[in-house]
Structure 1
Amino acid sequence: MDDKNKVPYVVSSKSYTAVAINAAAKAGEWIKSRLGTVKELNTKYSAQDLVTEVDKGAEQMIRKLILTHFPDHAILGEEGVEPGPKASAQALEETLKEEYVWIVDPVDGTTNYVHGFPFYSISIALAHKGEIIVGVIYDPSRDELFVAEKGKGAYVHGKPTVVSGEVTLETSLIATGFPADQTFALPINMAGLQHLAPQVRNIRSGGSAALHMAYVAAGRLTGFWEIGLNAWDLAAGALLVTESGGTVSDTTGRPYELSVRHIVASNGAIHSQLVNALQIADATGYDSH
């Protein structure tokens, strides 16, 4: 039977979300149960970029759960991609040719996980024709599940999340990261950090970009920026933030899409101030010419 005559199997977006939640929760339980057992460490892109057998095992688990329900969907997972920005961009470009793509980070915050620092998460997003329609971030340490569906809002513990109310940088709590890429992303991020630190209430660096995005969505952080991230760090969180009333863009203010690597997410009210500060510091990651 050729493809044209196939009757499409139609499922509501609810079941996409249910599968994402189930995969994140099951992988999260397993990851947490393995805490403290990690022996075998590989460095991925640099000495700071760790990958463990737990990341790989969690990704396999998530893949199986998704493909059981949606065998014809594509999956872009961090562990299936060679390290480095070029490989990430290429993998994303190839995968986005597919109609449905799941974008998975099995452990966002591996360094924290390895050290037993309880700030790591599982991030699962589903994109349809390049647009994110489901985003789930699960924090096993706190048993917090952040869920967003396009057009239907975002929730944690089943309660709607809403971004914070600060309107100035001075009153804002901002997060960033220290990128593993020491030649390009780290120095640029440090320039932004040095410029912003005196202008904001304070800066946090939890070590999981996905959780930082979830915290912006939940109003626990006013904003977050970082240079040199990947689709799997950001996709689920971007939907959480926008569905909670916030704004997500690249560091020059252009709207977020899946290929964006230099990110600003905020409550919206301080967004242009944050973007402007990065531009003044020459810390956007883009050429200023």
Structure 2
Amino acid sequence: MVASAVAREAGALQRRRFLARNSETVAYQFKGPQDYLTATDGEVEKLVRARLLAAYPGDTMLGEEDGGQISDNTWVVDPIDGTSNFARGIPHFCVSIALVHKGVAVIGVIHAPMVDELFCAAQGMGATLNGESIHASTATRLDRSLVELGWASRQPKSEYLTMLGKAMAAGAGVRGAGSGSLAVANVAAGRVDACVELHMYAWDWLAGMVLAQEAGARVNDFLTGDSLLKGNFVFAAAPGIAEELASALSVAI
């Protein structure tokens, strides 16, 4: 799969820049509240764009940093998901690549270079981690489950705190590790039982969504309306706790 090779190359670039950190390579700006940007974000996105569009010249690409156009075949890319971790020296980040074909996400690839993990999925073909099949967890009790609960500065803090309180009241173990893409990839791998966030952009979510679907997790319908450009609520959970979690959080899936 071309996307897998591109993700590995992009991840290798991330890794080199991370390990060669100095005051220039880790300098960061803020695009908005707690929304980090480094020079490496743009460098990786340019690499991915060049490789994908050379391989598929009739396709388009939508990237977090440089935008792009939407067509029948659109590659949706986050060059570094977990930029805050990358910028601050925390080795928990990845490159995320998805293909949306006529409004449906059909391919998802995520590479986490610091642990050399490559997650791949294609519609109807299952999900893999470094070539081995992965599946959502068999959890059936929310009070014994681990949930990644993301926070987005674009939503009122009160809404996040309300959702956090509901999850904890239901007995769920709650965490947040700073990468939405890796959160949902870990749901697909059965390491985490669910991940939920009030708002996430397509480049952060779609690759992991394909992984989670193909691994048997329950996910919400993300690609509705103009969510490819503007983002949406996100939910992915092991099938045995999905309804209980949705009810506890008062959300529809």
User: TM-score, normalising length from structure 2?
Assistant: 0.91
* In 2, Cα distance between equivalents of 1:70 and 1:106: 18
1:170-222: CA deviation from partner (whole Å, max 9, x where unpaired): 111111122233xx243312210122123234111111000000000000011
Structure 1 runs, 4 residues or longer, greater than 4 Å off: none
Q: CA RMSD for the aligned pairs?
A: 1.6
Name which one, 1 or 2, has greater alpha-carbon Rg.
Answer: 1
Partner of 1:40: 27
Distance 2:174 2:72 in 1: 39
Identify the range of structure 1 (235-244 vs 197-206) with the bigger mean alpha-carbon deviation: 197-206
Residues 199-214 of structure 1: pairs in structure 2 closer than 5 A: 199-214=170-185
Is 1:73 matched with 2:46?
Answer: no
Moved more, 25-34 or 259-268: 259-268
Q: Any idea what SS the aligned residue of 1:42 has?
A: strand
Alignment deviations for residues 2-33 of structure 1 (CA, whole Å, 9 cap, x no partner)? xxxxxxxxxxxxxxxx2111111111111111
User: 2:222 maps to what in 1?
Assistant: 256
The gaps in structure 2 that reach 5 residues or longer are none
CA distance in 2, matches of 1:54, 1:185: 30
Structure 1 residue 268 displacement after superposition? 1.5
Aligned equivalents of 2:186, 2:44: Cα separation in 1: 23
1:61 aligns with 2:32: no
Aligned to 2:162: 191
Question: What are structure 1's unaligned runs of at least 5 residues?
Answer: 1-17, 82-90, 250-254
Q: Quote the residue 1:9 is aligned against.
A: none
Q: Partner amino acid for 1:158? A: G
Distance in structure 2 (CA, Å) of the matches to 1:123 and 1:273: 29
Structure 1 length as normaliser, TM-score? 0.80
2:6 aligned partner: 23
CA 1:139 to 1:273, structure 2 compared with 1: closer, same or farther past 3 Å? Answer: same
Shift of 1:257: 2.2
Q: Which residue of 1 aligns with 2:109?
A: 136
* Number of residue pairs matched by the alignment: 243
2:242 and 2:165 mapped to 1: Cα distance? 18
Q: Are 1:152 and 2:129 matched, yes or no?
A: no
Measure how far apart 1:122 and its partner are: 0.6
Question: What's 2:91 paired with?
Answer: 118
Q: Is the 8 A contact 2:136 2:190 kept in 1?
A: yes
Contact 2:222 2:233 survives alignment (8 Å): no
Partner of 1:227: helix, strand, or coil? strand
